[in-house]
């Protein structure tokens, strides 16, 4: 398997912790002063949401099958589904249908006839980038089909590709500029091409939170959150707490932007880059660590 076990554990823990740290702020902000004190007044237990529950399903399926099996992954999503985790309305409906035996490729356009372009596919996609890091053609194919299980719109699929391809680039040791160049070569929609150009421009100089929101967005839509997470990761880099602080300060869909940026930062920083006092408080942290190791060995 390409990459180190530490980058796999860092990625999954980074995703789950980002989700749990961002969740209390979801739908609010942007924030300034509150974020400064975030890590000084952490709750004793950090509880994750739908973002992590679905990413666990992706990783479990890849590890169990030793590869990608869409039917198996769809079943994992439906079996893991806990409505108390705060799922998006479209995904709740699609997973309910899959649970009742409707094939995923019939359920995925039942709510939105053109498919959902919510960020529910991008938020869970990072394990695909770990598993298929070296095979970019297969990475894209699997990212798109795995997204389609619940999110069949091109914008949802390309939002997921932004995250999986970036994870793959990190595993392959690519620089941020190289990752952006590779993405420009594989992304096809004008929407995301414009966002990649905006990320490049924003990274050239300090940018205010308002400018980041205006240029990249912070909503539940894939095209208004996956690029924001990629930008936040490229600003924060291997400083995991700083990356999460930046994502929370942007406000809006904070659990999801933190989960996506956290997965990237964690993959780059490795297990050693995630503060142990955060891991200790994370719900199911042992299970998530074991799963990351299983995924690493399954490749």
Binding site for ligand F2R (CB under 6 A): 26, 49-51, 86-91, 112, 114, 116-120, 123, 153, 220-221, 253, 255-256
With CB under 5 A as the contact rule, the residue among 169, 196, 255, 270 that binds Mg ion is 255
In DSSP terms, 46 is beta-bridged to 282
Minimum distance from residue 256 beta carbon to Mg ion (Å): 3
Token pair, residue 152, equals 């069949």
Alpha-carbon span 109 to 181, nearest angstrom? 33
Coil vs helix vs strand at 85: helix
Minimum distance from residue 298 beta carbon to ligand F2R (Å): 26
Q: Which does 143 bind (CB under 5 to 8 A by kind): Mg ion, ligand F2R, none?
A: none
Minimum distance from residue 209 beta carbon to Mg ion (Å): 18
Coil vs helix vs strand at 217: coil
Alpha-carbon span 74 to 185, nearest angstrom? 29
Minimum distance from residue 57 beta carbon to ligand F2R (Å): 13
Q: What is the DSSP letter of 151?
A: -
Q: Which does 114 bind (CB under 5 to 8 A by kind): ligand F2R, Mg ion, none?
A: ligand F2R
With CB under 5 A as the contact rule, the residue among 150, 168, 256, 285 that binds Mg ion is 256
Token pair, residue 144, equals 């798109």
What sign does the dihedral 154-157-163-166 (CA atoms) show?
A: negative
Enclosing H/E stretch for 136? helix 136-148
Cβ-in-10-Å burial (0-12, 13-18, 19+) of 210 comes to exposed
Residue placing its CB nearer to ligand F2R in the complex, 231 or 296? 231
Residue placing its CB nearer to ligand F2R in the complex, 180 or 229? 229
Minimum distance from residue 109 beta carbon to ligand F2R (Å): 9
Q: Which does 60 bind (CB under 5 to 8 A by kind): Mg ion, ligand F2R, none?
A: none
Residue placing its CB nearer to ligand F2R in the complex, 54 or 234? 54
Residue placing its CB nearer to ligand F2R in the complex, 6 or 256? 256
Indicate the length of the chain as a whole number.
Answer: 299
The residue behind tokens 């930046």 is 246
């Amino acid at each position: 398997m390409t990459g180190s076990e530490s980058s796999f554990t860092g990625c999954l823990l980074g995703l789950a912790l980002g989700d749990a740290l961002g969740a209390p702020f979801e739908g609010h902000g942007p924030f300034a002063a509150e974020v400064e004190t975030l890590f000084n007044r952490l709750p004793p237990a950090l509880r994750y949401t739908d973002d992590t529950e679905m990413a666990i399903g992706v990783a479990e399926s890849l590890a169990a099958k030793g590869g990608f099996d869409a039917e198996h992954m769809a079943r994992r999503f439906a079996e893991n589904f806990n409505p108390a985790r705060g799922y998006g309305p479209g995904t709740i409906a699609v997973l309910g249908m899959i649970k009742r035996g409707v094939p995923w490729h019939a359920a995925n356009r039942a709510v939105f006839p053109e498919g959902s372009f919510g960020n529910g596919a991008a938020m869970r996609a990072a394990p695909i980038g770990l598993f298929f890091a070296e095979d970019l053609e297969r990475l894209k194919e699997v990212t798109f089909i795995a997204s389609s299980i619940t999110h069949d719109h091109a914008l949802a699929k390309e939002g997921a590709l932004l995250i999986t391809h970036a994870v793959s680039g990190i595993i392959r040791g690519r620089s941020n500029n190289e990752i952006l160049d590779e993405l420009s070569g594989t992304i096809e929609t004008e929407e995301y091409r414009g966002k990649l150009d905006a990320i490049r421009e924003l990274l050239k100089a300090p940018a205010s939170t308002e400018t980041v929101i205006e240029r990249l967005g912070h909503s539940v839509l894939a095209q208004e959150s996956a690029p924001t997470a990629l930008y936040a990761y490229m600003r924060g880099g291997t400083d995991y707490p700083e990356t999460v602080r930046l994502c929370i300060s942007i406000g809006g869909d904070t659990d999801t932007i933190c989960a996506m940026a956290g997965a990237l930062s964690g993959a780059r920083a490795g297990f050693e880059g995630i503060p142990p006092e955060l891991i200790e408080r994370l719900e199911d942290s042992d299970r998530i660590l074991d799963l990351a190791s299983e995924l690493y060995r399954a490749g």
